[in-house]
Amino acid sequence: MADAKDSTSATDTTVKRRVALKVLATTLGAGAFAKAIAPIQQFTASTNAQEWLQKHYRELSSRELREVLARLEAETKQKYGREVTIEDVRPQAGVQFAYALNLSVCIGCRRCVEACHQENNHDRASHNSYIRVLEMEQGSMDMERGRADYDHPVRDEGKFYLPVQCQQCENPPCTKVCPVEATWKEPDGIVVVDYNWCIGCRYCEAACPYHARRFNWRKPEVPAHEINPKQSYLSNRIRPQGVVEKCTFCLHKTRKGELPACLEACPTGARVFGNVLDPNSSIRWVLENKRVYVLKEELGTRPRFFYFFDK
Amino acid sequence: MSRDNKTAHHLTYPRFLLSAFWRASEGSWVFYTWMTALTAIALVGAHAWALQLANGMAVTAMTDHVSWGLYIANFTFLVGLAAGGVMMVVPAYLYDDHDMHDVVIIGELLAVAALVMALLFVVVDLGRPDRFWHMLPGIGRFHWPISMLSWDVIVLNGYLLLNLHVCGYLIYTRYLGKKPDPRWYRPFVFLSIAWAFSIHTVTAFLYAGLGGRPFWNSALLAPRFLASAFVTGPAFIVLVLQIVRRTTRFTVPEGAIQRLLSILRVTVLVNLFMVASEIFTIFYSGGAHAAAGRYLFLGLHGHAELVPWIWTAISFNVLAAIVIHTPALYRDRRVLNAALILTFVGVWIEKGMGLIVPGFVPSTLHEIVPYAPSKAEWQVCAGVWAFGLMIFTVIMKVGLQAMTGEMRAPSAESDAHTINNDDHAEEAR
């Protein structure tokens, strides 16, 4: 204010009046700002200090991880009213997962879509799922001629059906772009997201060529009795609002030797899943004996999800 | 600052800041009305953003199909506006254009305001802004150098700091009534020239590096971004220079305006040429890769949401190009100014919605899910712009008053200079 005092025209009273007015205006402005951003309290109430300070999944010690899992279980109880167990299921040595899908057999019934929805505790209102099924024209592999919104009894004459989910690429464009390493490829080939580390920029969603990623546009809602209580940290636990999620080949099941939910639900046996390093596995047999292809091979993403026709 | 050991910066700097705050809040009724209106709009935006945080980003019209929208469109445009300011710095420092040198600080101040807006647009687009610390090197896990977004964070913040340093240093030394020491700012100015190109190149690489999005996956994207940045920067600055002339005591040489217009005459055409190249490639080769371009320019499978936008943009840019190349038209300042506004808006559409949305439509599984921004998005967007214009107004006010000598430290060596920056200009000679 040295400046104002220097000015020869301004008397002490006008300066004082101006200072008073400015203080008043600033106070009013600050008050209005506080009022405008008040809804933030609702957001801060939904999170807490431990969550905010939580380290990246891969930096957690086993004790810290146990505490995180216990906290998440308690939070699920409190927010969703259901007792759940959240495990940390690690990849097994000597296992590389791959998936194959027989397009001659798939009838487009979307039971895999529904099974994914339930297994992975997806938001009920948006009917989210990691799988999208395209109804394709017989005689064309052009996805532009496919439709995901078909709504009639299947299978339809002259069509075939192409279910698409995360391709678990060898060279995943999605993990490359993440600015905070919140998503990465696990040693068994599964691409995962640390839902507690993701900042929600959705760059991975833009980078994925297969529409495999989903964003939690709002807090997922699942009625307590519909919640699948067998959960894991990197897969099907209920996701927080504002983060990205994706198919994990049901790692909470498959890493324990079970099959993914989408495969279990398939009524036609179109889906084949397993460890490619096991010479006796059916996935190995398919890869060795069928003429398999991958989606958008020209992009160099090297999917671990293969498609084939029987006839 | 070897020759003024006597200056006690720990005393003068706080006084400088106080003086700056005082002067930033002094003005005519027009100024108070302008700032009050901007404050009101900024508050509406802040409220809409707070609601978005509380209720989730479902309040936007974005979906898993179109996962970036109006926010990222504005972000992209504003990075261009920030880089566009360098079209004053290049003539002033590389070609010793003295008229430009007198006003170059305006380009640097514009870069500061535009970057603040660009960064805010990234923040409002985040699902979890509370986790921003995950990006901080050292305590977070900053995915550098692999993620292009990590590069963008570095170049944008770096450019902001560079411009803050150069402007801050010049303004402060003018306040002290001293000659700026070239060693303290010239190296930074030259660095900032290269850096300006980097911010828009890296921003283009964010998109161009995605193989799954054919509309963006083009080597032309970065050059096109730069060309359009050098349209919006000069256009905006010419408008601002005329306002400065009318409302302040800062002298704006006509030579600076003419130089910016000559730059604009080239960049407008280069930009249109690049748009034409894109259109040729899309429509002559055709095929699935052209689907997004077809959706943008002509409409696809009965969906034509962006068609009116893009043709508005192209007609604005063509019209502006005609005006600034026709003496009978541009000699009338009102016509010229209308053309400048048209091209500014034209690029905003072309590089905003016209660039971001077709990246997502059709989707990677070739589904067509249209997108039109929601009311909440428009509110947040208006709020960020209002806040950015407030910052620009305030820093311009303080900066120009320091340059003209209206804002001087009581201890300043008395000198006869009342015209802006003649030391600054002398130094250039």
| pLDDT tens track for A224-266 | 999 999 999 999 999 999 999 999 999 999 999 999 999 999 9
- The tokens describing B344, both together, are 């500014």
* Gap between the Cα atoms of A147 and A162, Å rounded: 10
* Residue B71 CB partners (closer than 8 Å, separation 6+): B60, B121, B122, B124, B125, B377, B380, B381
Report the residue count for chain B. 429
The two counts, helices (H) then strands (E), for chain B are 16, 0
Tokens of B221: 């994207």
Separation CA B73–CA B325 (nearest Å): 29
Model ipTM value: 0.94
Instruction: Residue window 19-58, chain B: list those with CB within 8 Å of chain A.
Output: 19, 22-23, 25-26, 39, 43-44, 46-47, 49-51, 53-58
- For chain B positions 325-384, those within 8 Å of chain A (CB to CB) are 359-360, 362-367
- Cα B329 to Cα B11: distance, rounded to the nearest angstrom: 54
What separation in angstroms does the CA of A155 have from each of A110, A151, A152, A158? 11, 11, 9, 9
Chain B touched by A213 (CB under 8 Å): yes
The predicted structure's pLDDT at residue B5 = 54
Peptide linkage before A155 cis (omega within 30 of 0): yes
Mean pLDDT of the B264-284 span: 95
Q: What CA–CA distance (Å, rounded) separates A198 from A57?
A: 11
Provide mean pLDDT across the span B275-288: 89
CB A189 within 8 A of CB A98: yes
Give the percent of chain B with pLDDT over 90: 90
First to last CA, chain B: 21
Asked whether the beta carbons of A254 and A91 are under 8 A apart, the reply is: no
Cα–Cα distance, B215 to A216 (Å, whole number)? 26
| 3-state SS class at A207 | helix
Q: At what angle do helices B148-175 and B182-208 cross, to 10 degrees?
A: 150
Of A4, A22, A36, the CB nearest to B50: A36
Domains of chain A (ranges; CATH) run 97-308 (3.30.70.20)
Beta-carbon contacts of A239 under 8 Å, excluding residues fewer than 6 positions away, are A195, A216, A220, A245
Do residue A202 and residue B134 have CB atoms under 8 angstroms apart? Answer: no
Chain centre to alpha carbon of residue B339: 19
pLDDT band of A308, cuts 50, 70, 90: very high
Sorting pLDDT into bands at 50, 70 and 90, what band is B7?
confident
Share of chain A above pLDDT 90, in %: 90
Q: Are B121 and B115 in contact (CB under 8 A)?
A: no
Q: Is A156 helix (H, G, I), strand (E, B) or coil?
A: coil
CB contacts of B209 in chain A (<8 Å) are 177
Model confidence pLDDT, tens digit, residues B182-196: 999 999 999 999 999
| pLDDT greater than 70 at residue B414 | no
pLDDT tens digits along A30-84: 999 999 999 999 999 888 999 999 999 999 999 999 999 999 999 999 999 999 9
Collect all residues of chain A within an 8 Å Cβ-Cβ radius of residue B359.
Answer: 206
Angle at B32 between CA B28 and CA B33, to 5 degrees: 115
Nearest CA in chain A to B134: A180
At A232 the three-state DSSP class reads strand
Tell me the average pLDDT across B256-267. Answer: 97
Contacts of A179 in chain B (CB under 8 A): 135, 142-143, 147, 149-150, 153
What value does the mean pLDDT take over residues B276-290? 87
Cβ of A37 within 8 Å of Cβ of B49? The answer is yes
Q: For B54, which of A6, A39, A178 is closest by C-beta distance?
A: A39
Cβ pair B75, B121 in contact under 8 A: yes
B33 is written with which tokens? 């009305």
- Residue B57's SS3 state is helix
Q: Average pLDDT, whole number, for chain B?
A: 93
> What pLDDT is recorded for position B411?
78
CA distance B88 to chain A (A): 31
- Contact: A198, B146; criterion CB under 8 Å: no
Q: Which fold has domain B32-428?
A: Formate dehydrogenase/DMSO reductase fold (1.20.1630)
The torsion of the CA quartet A263, A266, A269, A270, rounded to 10 degrees, works out to: -80
Bin A139: left if φ > 0, else alpha if -120 < ψ < 50, else beta.
left
pLDDT tens-digit map of B355-368: 999 999 999 999 99
Instruction: Tell me the chain A residues in contact with residue B409 when contact means C-beta distances shorter than 8 Å.
Output: 2
Alpha-helix residue ranges (DSSP H) falling in B352-374? 353-356
When the pLDDT of each residue in chain A is averaged and rounded to a whole number, the result is 94
Residues of A in contact with B210 (CB under 8 A): 173, 177, 206-207
Nearest-Cα residue of chain B relative to residue A142: B288
The predicted structure's pLDDT at residue A11:
72
Is some CB atom of chain B closer than 8 A to the CB atom of A294? no
Give the pLDDT score at A177.
97
Give residue-wise pLDDT tens across range B69-103: 999 999 999 999 999 999 999 999 999 999 999 99
How many angstroms separate the CA of residue B364 from the nearest CA in chain A? 5
Counting one residue from A and one from B, how many pairs have CB atoms under 8 Å apart?
A: 192
The predicted pLDDT at position B138 comes to 87
Eight-class DSSP state of A294: -
* pLDDT at residue A247, as a whole number: 98
Which residues make beta-bridge pairs with A192? A184
In the DSSP assignment, the letter for residue A293 is: B
C-alpha B26/C-alpha A19 separation (Å) is 11
How many whole angstroms separate alpha carbon A79 and alpha carbon A82?
8
Cβ neighbours of A242 in B, within 8 Å: 56-57, 126-128
The full DSSP string for B288-314 is GGGHHHHHHHT-BTTB-TTHHHHHHHH
Q: What residue spans define the domains of chain B?
A: 32-428
Residue A15 has what pLDDT? 85
Partner-chain residue, chosen from B50, B135, B362, that has the shortest CB–CB distance to A180: B135
Contact state of B57 with A176 under an 8 Å Cβ cutoff: no
Exposure pattern of B331-341 as b/e (b: 16+ CB <10 Å)? eeeeebbebbe
Q: Which amino acid is at A309?
A: F
Q: What is the pLDDT at residue B256? A: 96
Q: Which residues contact B355 (CB under 8 A, 6 or more apart)?
A: B73, B76, B207, B216
Closest residue by Cα to residue B86 from B258, B226, B291: B226
Dist CA B264 CA B227 (whole Å):
10
Amino acid at B64: D
Distance CA B370, CA B21 (A): 46
